């Protein structure tokens, strides 16, 4: 059987705590046949529910969701694997004549779904050695090494982001090419059929929403969720997830719970700024300025895009 081409897509994007999931859920309730596709690096992991702000079981029973709970926390899940899983999901949606609505918070994952970006290979031996160096020397030291090999890539990432720094170095060393040289580059924005609608709040308001969200997660049992995860192996990627790495440090006796919560709030605010900057660089995004209620203020534009 020949599949229909994947239909034009719509994406709701923005930083964490911007309300994009609520907007997407409201759109799916209003427009028949809409299914939600999570574009989030951490919602792929099973049993990591509270800290990743997954949709509730009730919401997932009401509207079909994709790319949530597809691997165990002990698995290293790569961006290439995510792209393959996303294409499978989009093909499945097309097969059933439904309409996909992307809910995007992880910028790189979003780009590989909507754009044809060349992804470099993997070199496990190189990666293992770099992981040891990261444990021994720290991420900033590896970032300095990356800056010498690929200053363009180094300038694009935080020195403390161990996962990204190690990955970039792995590619530089393993391939003999600069990490930043692969594909057309993330700074190139080709034409796309995806209507991208971004939710934009004043940063001070996002900061307040993040603090409220983190406290809600703690009240909902985040500490217990992390403790249960620690009973089994946790992959390096899952272990570095915001909210999880800080609670792990608390449970291992390296900081108080109050200090862990404060670190989660600070780290999430920093993440939100990075997410906003990433999405803001894309000239194809249509921004919707939110003042108070993301659903009321953004839903009409999302529904209109889905109807086209």
pLDDT of residue 8: 60
- The predicted-structure confidence for 229-261, as pLDDT tens digits, reads as follows 999 999 989 999 999 999 999 999 999 999 999
Ramachandran angles phi, psi of 245, nearest 5°: -65, -35
CATH of range 10-117+191-307; options 3.90.1150.10, 3.40.50.300, 2.60.120.620, 3.40.50.2300: 3.40.50.300
The pLDDT value given to residue 160: 87
pLDDT reported for residue 180:
85
pLDDT in tens, 171-229: 999 999 999 887 656 778 999 999 999 999 999 999 999 999 999 999 999 999 999 99
Pairing outcome for strands 285-289 and 195-200? parallel
**CATH code for the part of the protein at 124-181:** 1.10.20.140
State the pLDDT at residue 2: 40
* DSSP assignments along 138-156, one per residue: -HHHHHHHHHHH-HHHHHT
Task: From 106, 110, 289, 104, select the one nearest 189 (Cα to Cα).
Answer: 110
pLDDT at residue 1 is higher than 70: no
The per-type count for the chain, helices as H runs and strands as E runs, is 14, 6
Name the phi and psi angles at 275, rounded to 5: -60, -45
pLDDT at 122 exceeding the cut of 90: no
Whole-structure pTM value? 0.85
Domain edges within the chain: 10-117+191-307, 124-181
SS3 253: coil
Residue 201 to residue 58: CA distance in whole angstroms: 28
Domain 10-117+191-307 and domain 124-181, same fold? Reply is: no
């Amino acid at each position: 059987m020949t599949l229909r081409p994947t239909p034009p897509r719509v994406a709701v994007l923005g930083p964490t705590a911007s309300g994009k999931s609520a907007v997407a859920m409201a759109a799916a309730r209003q427009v028949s046949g809409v299914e939600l596709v999570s574009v989030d690096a951490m919602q792929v992991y099973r049993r990591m529910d509270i800290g990743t702000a997954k949709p509730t079981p009730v919401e997932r029973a009401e509207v079909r969701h994709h790319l949530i709970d597809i691997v165990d926390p002990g698995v290293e899940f790569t961006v290439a694997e995510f792209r393959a899983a996303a294409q499978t999901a989009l093909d499945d949606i097309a097969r059933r004549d439904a309409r996909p609505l992307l809910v995007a918070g992880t910028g790189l994952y979003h780009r590989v779904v909507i754009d044809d970006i060349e992804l470099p290979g993997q070199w496990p031996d190189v990666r293992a050695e770099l992981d040891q160096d990261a444990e021994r020397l720290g991420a900033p030291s590896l970032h300095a090494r990356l800056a010498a090999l690929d200053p363009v890539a180094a300038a694009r990432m935080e020195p403390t982001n161990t996962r990204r720094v190690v990955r970039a170095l792995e590619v530089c060393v393993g391939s003999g090419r600069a990490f930043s040289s692969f594909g057309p580059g993330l700074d190139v924005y080709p034409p796309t059929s995806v209507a991208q609608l971004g939710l934009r709040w004043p940063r001070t308001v996002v900061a307040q929403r993040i603090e409220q969200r983190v406290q809600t997660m703690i009240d909902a049992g985040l500490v217990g969720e992390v403790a249960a995860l620690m009973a089994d192996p946790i992959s390096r990627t899952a272990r570095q997830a915001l909210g999880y790495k800080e609670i792990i440090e608390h449970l291992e006796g390296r900081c108080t719970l109050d200090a862990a919560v404060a670190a989660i709030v600070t780290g999430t605010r920093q993440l939100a700024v990075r997410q906003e900057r990433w999405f803001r660089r894309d000239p194809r995004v249509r921004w919707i300025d939110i003042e108070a209620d993301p659903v009321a203020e953004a839903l009409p534009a999302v529904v209109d895009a889905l109807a086209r």
